[in-house]
Amino acid sequence: MDNILSINVNKENKKYPCVDCLTDYINIKIPQALADKIDIIIAKRIQGYRSRGEIVNECIRQKIREIEDKNSLEPYNHYNVFEDHATVKDYTKKGMEIDVFFRNGKPFCDYCKKSNCEHIHFLLNKEEFQKILKDKGY
């Protein structure tokens, strides 16, 4: 069995893209054999790489781009509409179903306990949902 090496990888935090902020990193374990190959690339300065993190970040970004070409990585999905609310699947919360209620013509997110949050913004910006709201008289 390969030894495992832990590497810090930037979380791709768009609000704080700071490379030096430790809170923007998580640990990912890779097999020692991969780390050894990465170290050779760094030692030889192949393609200008200077760190393990730089190589790993680039590889992950490339893989994500490949996946995005074939799949939607939108964090929310309009799931269902009922008489008094709509349900949103929130993939940032492991696919949790979040209800947004419409009372007195105003939205209210049951999860965030707010009338202005990302779940409400998601729904209100969806053309298909705007049509449903209009048909219901909102």
pLDDT in tens, 30-79: 999 999 999 999 999 999 999 999 999 999 999 999 998 888 888 888 77
Judge if 49 and 90 occupy the same domain.
no
Judge if 102 and 62 occupy the same domain.
no
121 versus 128: the higher-pLDDT residue is 121
Per-residue confidence (pLDDT) for residue 57, from 0 to 100: 93
Judge if 63 and 37 occupy the same domain.
yes
Residue range of the domain that includes 25: 4-70
Judge if 55 and 31 occupy the same domain.
yes
Per-residue confidence (pLDDT) for residue 59, from 0 to 100: 94
Judge if 8 and 66 occupy the same domain.
yes
* Counted domains in the chain: 2
pTM of the complete model beyond 0.75: no
DSSP string, 90-128: EGGGTTEEEEEEEETTEEEETTTTBSSSHHHHHHHT-HH
Judge if 81 and 66 occupy the same domain.
no
